Each structure stands twice: as structure tokens, then as C-alpha cells.
Structure 1
Amino acid sequence: GAFYPEVHFENNDLLDLFHLKTKVDSGTDFLVSQLFFDNEDFYKFKEKTQKLNINVPLVAGILPVTNYKQIQKVRELCNAKIPRKFQTILDKFKDDPKALEEAGIIYATEQIIDLIASGVDGVHIYTMNKVHVTRKILENIKYIREGIKEAK
């Protein structure tokens, strides 16, 4: 099943959680989030689900932003909140497609590392058919994990 860490833009918080509880009570055994750019929204939502005994794995949905038009469309379609830090990055590189893609990959990598460090049940990367972006994120994570192992 799907869930919205920022709350579905057509619902309120309680209604969203009620729908989620209904899905789980009907047999859904894991949930994948709509994309989000602020991990705090995911963590807060997870706390709310735990209080309601929604005890299934929550998979975080991450979208690596690869171009400026893409993020504008995402904002229109799903009302995703853009943290100030990320908006600054997007604005800085909006006229340099290659740099924006690289910045988007780095931002998504940082999000995923934070989620893993916080014990997330899983991560779904919304690739938008850009396999090279996913490969780069996985390489980044592997490189960081190897660095951590060497530091121990």
C-alpha cells in the first residue's frame, strides 16, 4: 500500500491515518511512501503510525531530482514540500542541468544515508527510468559504507 508522510493533500492527518489503518487491517503487509524531501516528515509520520498500532514495514520513497522542470511538476502533482536547504541547491543550479543532476543525486544519497542510520525498513528510489542515477546513488552509499568499515 501507499502512504503520504506529508499527509495527502486532499485529506487531513487523521483521515490519512484512518485510511492507512484500514489498508493494514485489510491485509497490507508493507507500505511505500509517496516521495518526500524532508526526512523529518517521514520520522514524524512513523511515530504516528506506531501510536495507532500500524505495525508493518514502512518503505521510504526517494526521488532523486535530476532537472528543474521535474521538481516543478512534482510540486504541482503531489504538493511535495521542498526544504529551504534543498530549494537553495535547486535555485543555485537550475541553469546548469549537469550540476543540478549531480546535486540531486547527492541530496538523495544524503537522505538515504540518514534514513538507513535511523533504521528505516527499506528505501524505494523513484528512478523515473534513469538507471544511471540509481547506480550513482548506490555507488555513493557503498563508498560511504566502505569508509565507515575502514574507520572502525
Structure 2
Amino acid sequence: MSIQDLFKEKTVLSYEVFPPKKQAKNPSSIYKTLDVLKDLNPDAISVTYGALGAKNNTETFKIAKTIKDYGVESIVHLPGIELTKADVLEKLDQLKALNLHNILALRGDLPEGDFTPGDFRYASDLISFIKENGDFNITAACYPEGHVDSPNIVEDIKNLRIKVESGVDHLITQLFLNNDHFYRFRERCALAGINVPIEAGIMPVTNKRQIEKMTSLCGVELPEKFIKVMNRYEDDPIAMRDAGIAYAIDQIVDLVTQGVDGIHLYTMNNPYIAKRIFEATHNLIDHRAKVIANKNLPKVAQI
């Protein structure tokens, strides 16, 4: 069953990992992370390009193949900003050979300094090209608070509709810390005729400096409640970790209760945090699938 079909039957749960940096002390640790994640009932695990650059896919594809071999669907991130059409065709052939059928098609972050742009100015250009050259399930990114490069939320939704109409099967949001932004975004999508499933991207926050840097780059609001959590526990790493986990759990409970299509957990390659969140939320996430299964059971004749 394809990922997009799963949305009809359950609240989808997926995780994100990234390839270790070249200078990582223990680059094989990613596989220890995957050993834990595969047992946390994932419908899919996505693999980013990390810090390796848009043209370096060796580790990304290798990790994605390992995930597939575990019996879990893998989603390969593919940023197009520096890629030519020939580059993408080569990568599509590699993915086909590895039996990998899910791609998260992205524009990609603009590199610092001078760089040679490829053939894909926007993610929609890359998506159209992939659809024309292979039978892939295509995921795309979306931004509940608007993309930092968009002049306003209206233009961002217009551009998202163009992206979806280019061939997107489902969407994953950028992280957000205020669920109200997600609900307003979901309403705007419905009004704009964007009707593909939308997974909510949740990032458990365990480091104040890291999240402040990330949210400033992405234009994400830091809610007052969240700021109070960071300020109270920033000098106690264990307490900050536990508070970040609790905050993410609260977000997920609220989202699932409000009928979110799926949850995409940005694990930051930390299996402990992912496991804690799974243990606290998996019964809730599984509830919809159980309800649908019960509806489909044959009725027993009453005597």
C-alpha cells in the first residue's frame, strides 16, 4: 500500500533522520537510531541530505535503502537548487534500482556565497520533472506560518497550490510551535482547493540556543508558553529535554484530537526522544485505524 493510501485508513506517523556529518565521531550511530525507530510503528522514515550538499546523495540513498530493507517505507529528500535535469535523471535511475519510490521534492536552501544554479528554480519545477520521468510518490514541504521568502501568506498559499498541482501526493509542514497556525493554514488550504493530506511536522525542542536559531531562520513564532518553558529550564539539560518532550506531546495530542492527517516527527537522530513521544501518543494515533477497522468488520447476525 502506498503512503498516500494510508491516509484514508489511519493517522499516519513518520519520522525524519539525517545522515551524520562527515566529521561525526560515530557515523554508524544513525543505524542504531534506525534500529529503535523501526520498532516505533512508523509508516515511513524520511532521510534528509543533512550537511552533505545537494549533489552528494551517497549516504542518503544508503540509509533510505536500509529503512526499506527493514520493511518500512523510506522518503528520500531531493533538493533541486543545484541540480541539472541530467543530475535528477541519474538520481531517479538510482532510486528505481534501489526500489525506492518516495521522494520529498524541495527547492533546497540557497547556498551561502557563489554557487551554480541548476535547472530547477522552484520545487514545482522539480516536481513536474519527476512526474514526467518516473512513477514516484511525491511529498512536498509547506509552511503554516508562510515561507520566509514569500511576501505574505496569500502568495504563499497560491504558490503552494501551484506546487501541489504539479504532482504532489502529500505535504509535510515545517515545524511550528503554536497549533493555531496549523489550523488556520489547513483552513486556507481547503479554501484554495488544496486537498492532499497534510502531515504536521513536530520538532521536540531540547536546546534553547538551537531552537532560537532555527526559528529565526524559518520565521517561526515562539509562543509565550514555550518561551517560559525555555527560560525556566535552559540551565538544566535534563529538565529542558523533558520539558521539550512534554511540549511536543501536548502538541500531538491536540493535533490528533483535531483530526490531523498525520504526524511527522523531526527526531534530530535522537531515538530516546522519539521513543518517549511514541510511548505517550501511540494509542491515540492508532485510534482512528481501530475505528475504521471495526466499521469494516462483518456484522454478526442477531439471534
Fold equivalence (TM over 0.5): yes
1:79 aligns with one of 207, 210, 219: 219
Q: Which residue of 1 aligns with 2:86?
A: none
Tell me the percent identity. Answer: 45
Which range is displaced more, 135-144 or 2-11? 135-144
Q: How does 1:21-40 map to 2 (within 5 A)?
A: 21-40=161-180
How many Å apart are 1:144 and its aligned residue? 6.8
Q: Which residue of 1 aligns with 2:237?
A: 97
Q: Which residue of 1 aligns with 2:258?
A: 118
Structure 1 counterpart of 2:164, one-letter code:
V
Asked if residue 63 in structure 1 is aligned to residue 203 in structure 2, the reply is yes
How many Å apart are 1:128 and its aligned residue? 0.8
Q: Which residue of 1 aligns with 2:299?
A: none
Asked if residue 141 in structure 1 is aligned to residue 281 in structure 2, the reply is yes
Larger helix proportion of the pair = 1
Question: Following the alignment from structure 1 to structure 2, what is the Cα–Cα distance between the partners of residues 19 and 76?
Answer: 22
Question: Following the alignment from structure 2 to structure 1, what is the Cα–Cα distance between the partners of residues 263 and 281?
Answer: 12
Asked whether the 8 Å contact 2:142–2:171 carries over to 1, the reply is: yes
Which range is displaced more, 56-65 or 15-24? 15-24
Structure 2 counterpart of 1:10, one-letter code:
D
Partner SS state of residue 146, structure 2: coil
Asked whether the 8 Å contact 2:256–2:284 carries over to 1, the reply is: no
Comparing both chains, which one has the higher relative contact order based on Cα–Cα distances under 8 Å and sequence gaps of 6 or more?
Answer: 1
Structure 2 counterpart of 1:79, one-letter code:
G
Structure 1 counterpart of 2:167, one-letter code:
G
Question: Following the alignment from structure 2 to structure 1, what is the Cα–Cα distance between the partners of residues 224 and 175?
Answer: 17
Structure 2 counterpart of 1:15, one-letter code:
E
Q: Which structure 1 residue ranges, 5 or more long, are not aligned? A: 146-152
How many Å apart are 1:76 and its aligned residue? 2.5
Asked if residue 2 in structure 1 is aligned to residue 141 in structure 2, the reply is yes
How many Å apart are 1:66 and its aligned residue? 1.0
How many Å apart are 1:59 and its aligned residue? 0.5
Which digits, 9 at most, give the CA deviation of each residue in 1:27-63, with x for residues without a partner?
1010100000000000000000100110000110000
Which digits, 9 at most, give the CA deviation of each residue in 1:7-41, with x for residues without a partner?
11221112111111011111101010000000000
| Count of residues paired in the alignment | 146
Question: Following the alignment from structure 1 to structure 2, what is the Cα–Cα distance between the partners of residues 144 and 57?
Answer: 19
Larger Rg: 1 or 2? 2
1:54 aligns with one of 166, 191, 194: 194
How many Å apart are 1:75 and its aligned residue? 2.0
Question: Following the alignment from structure 1 to structure 2, what is the Cα–Cα distance between the partners of residues 98 and 32?
Answer: 29
Which digits, 9 at most, give the CA deviation of each residue in 1:69-117, with x for residues without a partner?
2112212321211110111011100111110000000000010010000
Q: Which structure 2 residue ranges, 5 or more long, are not aligned? A: 1-139, 286-303
Measured on the aligned residues, the alpha-carbon RMSD in Å equals 1.6
